[in-house]
A and B are shown apart, each in its own frame.
Chain A
Amino acid sequence: MKLQQYLGGLENLGPVNVEKRVFVEDWEARLFGVHMTMMGTGIWAWPHLRVKAEGMNPLDYFKYRYYIKWLGGMCAFLIERGYIDENELDELTAHFLANPDAPLPEKGNKNITDKVVDYLWTGDDPYRDVVINPIFREGQRVQVKDMPSAVHTRLPGYLRNKIGVVDEVYPKAILYSDSVPTDSVSTPQPIYRVKFMTRDIWADIPDTDDIIYNDCFETYLEAA
């Protein structure tokens, strides 16, 4: 079991850090720019980053700020895939640590900026043009399966074994990712919006009519 895949419902964590900024250090914005370049030029995609996050020591996952974790994940991926050399990165890091105002090289590929901006406007629609025959219908009771632990999942842990009602059957097939190992969301399949009564998930909370909706991949569901 990976804690990062089971965050929903954890208790005793104290108050939320209500930090309304997107970046709290200048380097975070620049790191984000490099990340977007990696996305827009096909070096990586979200699932690669999530594999790194879900593979972390869970205590470290809670300890380190969001973009510190991105920095670790991005560097590890780029080294593993041979885009950069670890020693080269370490040496250059030491150089900029000793000379924080040293300039960046005036080199690069000027075509990449437009490519990245085009990607931002186009996105990456997960719909796939394949015929689907959804096995559940609107209004049907479904139970969420307890899937085996995976490198990467799109199933929130707190919903496992819980029963909900299909609220909407989305009309088209969705492919989550075929580039990383997942618990079977790597083939195009139907998606259902499932409605859960929050009290059906946690019986010990105050009695309200509160609701949780989650979009579930078909592979995660069975008839209840």
Chain B
Amino acid sequence: MSTEKDKHGHHDHLREGESYYAARTKALESLFREKKLIGTDTVDRVINFFDLEMGPFNGAKVCARAWTDGEFKKRLLDDCNAAIAELGLRDGIEGENLKVVECTPKVHHMVSCTLCSCWPWPLLGLPPYWFKDPVFRARVVREPREVLKDFGVELDPSVRVEVWDSSAQIRYFVLPNRPEGTEGWDEEKLAALISTEAMQGLDLVTA
């Protein structure tokens, strides 16, 4: 176990391993319980909340409705927070001000947060690791087409790329292109095609 100290005299805990991080996290929760700063079920409830209530299944539902109901799509693009309520979805933390940007055959949208990890939680749950990777954040603004290749996506050079770099109040969400060959599909079947990555512009939806 490393006990190197930094210039402030603190142990440099970052250099420890996974079992250390797990033990320290457990120690933190334990102290919170002792000091009555947390409930015994709070952590489980938060984890469960993002498994069942705020997750990418919400965003997929919104895309499927927008693909099948043009009037809904207009309202969604105009005021996302109001439109998702029509589907019984709630906004909330990291989604107080949502905005949807719509892909077309000529324009591809991608979302980034080069300063941290701003992400539309009510529609997508929590951000996956790739979005928080400093390499993604560094490269996506300057070379978005090359970053797409890392995700296995090759864009036609004639398609314009628009990157939405979040740093203030808005949380961006991408409405991908509806794939060909899905005419007549119901919303549930359409929603099942849509990945989290597609709803931030890092994947294309295919049937």
Contacts and interface: CB of A to CB of B under 8 A. Distances in A.
Interface of A: 4-5, 7-11, 13-22, 24-34, 36-37, 39, 41, 43, 46, 50, 53, 60-62, 64-69, 71-72, 74-76, 78, 83-84, 86, 88-90, 92-97, 100, 104-113, 116-117, 119-127, 153-156, 158, 170, 174, 176, 191, 193, 198, 201-202, 205, 208-217
A107 B31 CA distance: 10
Contacts of B164: 213
A125 B96 contact: yes
Contact of A16 (B46, B93, B133, B169): B133
Nearest to A33: B43
Interface in B19-64: 19-47, 49-50, 54
- Which among B10, B28, B151, B197 has the highest number of chain A CB atoms within 10 Å? B28
Contacts, number: 299
A36 B46 contact: yes
Contacts of A9: 138, 141-142
B168 A123 contact: no
B90 A121 contact: yes
Interface stretch (B67-75, B123-131, B181-189): B123-131
A116 B92 contact: no
B168 A84 contact: no
A123 B92 contact: yes
Interface in B89-122: 90-97, 112, 114-117
A34 B39 contact: no
A217 B20 CA distance: 41
A174 B168 contact: yes
Interface of B: 10-11, 13-14, 18-47, 49-50, 54, 90-97, 112, 114-117, 125-130, 132-139, 141-144, 147, 150-151, 157, 160-170, 196-197
Contacts of A71: 13, 21, 24-25
A117 B45 contact: yes
Q: 8 closest pairs, A vs B, by CB?
A: A33-B43, A19-B129, A92-B27, A215-B168, A96-B23, A27-B22, A10-B138, A8-B114
A208 to B, nearest CB: 7
A181 to B, nearest CB: 16
Contacts of B10: 76, 86
Contacts of A86: 10
A7 B38 contact: no
B45 A5 contact: no
Given A32-B126, A93-B20, A215 B167 contact: yes
